[in-house]
Chains A and B, each alone.
Chain A
Amino acid sequence: MTKTDDNPLEAYVRAALALQGYKFGDAEVAEIVAQFSRLETVARTVLEWPLPFASEPAPVFRP
């Protein structure tokens, strides 16, 4: 078992960093995992918000 098997968030961060071409040591990865964890906490609010199925995104926002 690797150290990330029981930590899917860290496993995701390590895989995504590799996929995007980043090469960091463990100290930098630990900082990035901490930051991503904060983002994930905030994202939960967004992901759990009930929206109508047909609700459209606003990628180019023109109020």
Chain B
Amino acid sequence: MGSAADIVQQIAKGTRSAAAVLAECKTLIARKDPELNCFTAKTFERAEREAAAIDALYAQGKTLPPLAGVPYAVKNLFDVEGMVTLAGAKLNAGNAPAAADATIVARMSRAGAVLVGALNMEELAYGFLTENHHYGTTRNPHDLERGAGGSSGGSAAAVGAGMLPITLGSDTSGSIRVPASLCGVFGLKPTYGRLPRTGTFPFVNSLDHVGPFANSVLGLALAYDAMQGPDPADPACAQRAVEPAGVSLPLPAGTRIGILGGWFHEWADPAARRSVQLAAAALGATEWTELESAEVARAAAYIITGAEGGALHRPRLIERYEDFGPASRSRLVAGGLIPASWVIQAQRVRRHAYTQAMALFEHYDLLIAAAAPAVAPKVGQETLLINGRSIPTKAGLGVLTQPISCIGLPVCTVPVWPGEGDAAAERALPVGVQLIGAPWCERLCLAAARTLEQAGIAEIRPTSAL
């Protein structure tokens, strides 16, 4: 399949047509998806039209857009014109089809990308697995006995399996970074408010982010740049002008990088710690630091998530409780009962944690931590054992991501292969590393990711399981 940048270059040179790229993509999907269960819908008719439009531009000698002919797919909570937006939930299946594309899907189309389908996710984005009661489990492309993570599991696994160079997902508490970590792909959760969420099915308005997955850092940057820009229809969108990450992405000399200890070290198992160590060494980072409010920031995000998610779904929980999956319905109802005083306190904690993080950025430009506490768990595994402590898998996979999205910082997650574990199967699996920037510093996160990619520390590996 190749990277997005390779595809764009080949189409621009005329060595490959958009139609040929799409045909290869369809073959890969037909071969690999039956075992993985990434796709919930395919949009091949639209893809044929979009690919033909790119080939027509080339034939006319016109300038091609920046993602010309690059196939991609989206988590099924993004509106796609003419399709029902499922958000992983059976109770949405009877809704009217979307009247228009989500803003960032429309922007991807304008940039020349070719939409091939919609991807599986955790029901209503509530959880870090993609073991969907209604639409099945998405499996890990590097070990089919294991899960892809979630909630954007289909998005990560489709890239990890080599079916697509770019996909889109969302991240409320780690739903881009956790599956990127487990599936061994690159993922970008931009600053809260950077990318508009208009036309996406909401979960927690005050925490929801959207962003890309890719099989290369340049692919992430190309997609990110294509999707940037203000959108007054999203009240949380920061209305900032486009600040291109660009494609050269050099990491500035003298970049100060801190390794997050404390909570982030305690909840990282030996494989996750080894990933951080490899990334730190390649970036020349030697100083450890601590975000003291990490634990309470995670707790605050947990409370805000429960309260907003529960309130959002209350009318349908009253009328159609049985149509919600058993793993989410009682959690959602319980969240809706959270007292206002807890939510207000959580929002106060959030501001306080943000202030503490900004104090860290007086000393460092970038912070690094593992993106998941361990390698991908087996499908159905109910608990994780991290350094002797047990934690429920569904919530525990986000233990290292939730404190960061709580305060809206931009993060690029890169695939690192620690080679740690008791069993050979575990030693073959990745644990991602979060490259965390100050607000609006996505470019620096991507530059560090590019440095690790060029050093061979962050890499996409072929799947042996497929």
* A positions within 8 Å CB-CB of B: 12-13, 16-17, 20-22, 24, 28, 31-32, 34-36, 38-39, 42-43, 45-47, 49, 51-52, 55-63
Smallest distance from the beta carbon of B311 to chain A beta carbons, Å?
Answer: 10
**Quick one: closest A residue to B330, CB to CB?**
A31
Establish whether residues B330 and A46, one from each chain, have CB atoms under 8 Å apart when the complex forms. no
* B positions within 8 Å CB-CB of A: 191-193, 206, 235-236, 238, 293, 295-296, 299-300, 302-303, 306, 314, 317-318, 321, 330-331, 333-338, 342, 344-352, 354, 407-409, 439-440
Establish whether residues A42 and B302, one from each chain, have CB atoms under 8 Å apart when the complex forms. yes
In the assembled complex, the Cα of A58 lies from the Cα of B345 at a distance in Å of 10
Establish whether residues B345 and A47, one from each chain, have CB atoms under 8 Å apart when the complex forms. yes
Contacts A35-B335, A46-B349 known; list 18 others, CB within 8 Å.
A16-B337, A32-B333, A38-B334, A42-B299, A43-B338, A49-B349, A49-B352, A51-B348, A51-B349, A55-B348, A55-B351, A57-B344, A58-B347, A58-B350, A63-B191, A63-B192, A63-B193, A63-B408
A46-B337 contact, Cβ under 8 Å, with A39-B303, A55-B352, A63-B408? no
Query: Could you list 18 A-B pairs, sorted by A, with CB under 8 Å?
Result: A13-B334, A16-B337, A17-B337, A20-B336, A22-B317, A32-B337, A35-B334, A35-B335, A36-B337, A46-B303, A46-B342, A51-B348, A60-B236, A61-B408, A62-B238, A63-B354, A63-B408, A63-B439
Establish whether residues A60 and B306, one from each chain, have CB atoms under 8 Å apart when the complex forms. no
**Quick one: closest A residue to B296, CB to CB?**
A49
Contacts of B331 on A, CB cut-off 8 Å? 35
Smallest distance from the beta carbon of B398 to chain A beta carbons, Å?
Answer: 13
Establish whether residues B333 and A22, one from each chain, have CB atoms under 8 Å apart when the complex forms. yes
Establish whether residues B337 and A20, one from each chain, have CB atoms under 8 Å apart when the complex forms. yes
Count of A-B contacts judged by CB separation below 8 Å: 107
Establish whether residues B321 and A28, one from each chain, have CB atoms under 8 Å apart when the complex forms. yes
Smallest distance from the beta carbon of A57 to chain B beta carbons, Å?
Answer: 3
Establish whether residues A56 and B349, one from each chain, have CB atoms under 8 Å apart when the complex forms. no
**Quick one: closest A residue to B293, CB to CB?**
A49
Contacts of A45 on B, CB cut-off 8 Å? 295-296, 299
**Quick one: closest A residue to B193, CB to CB?**
A62
Contacts of B335 on A, CB cut-off 8 Å? 35, 39
Out of B303, B336, B347, which one reaches A42, CB within 8 Å? B303
Establish whether residues B342 and A47, one from each chain, have CB atoms under 8 Å apart when the complex forms. yes
Establish whether residues B351 and A56, one from each chain, have CB atoms under 8 Å apart when the complex forms. yes
Contacts of A32 on B, CB cut-off 8 Å? 330, 333-334, 337
Smallest distance from the beta carbon of B171 to chain A beta carbons, Å?
Answer: 14
Smallest distance from the beta carbon of B437 to chain A beta carbons, Å?
Answer: 11
Establish whether residues A20 and B351, one from each chain, have CB atoms under 8 Å apart when the complex forms. no
**Quick one: closest B residue to A54, CB to CB?**
B348
A35-B333 contact, Cβ under 8 Å, with A46-B296, A47-B342? yes
A63-B407 contact, Cβ under 8 Å, with A22-B318, A28-B330, A35-B331? yes
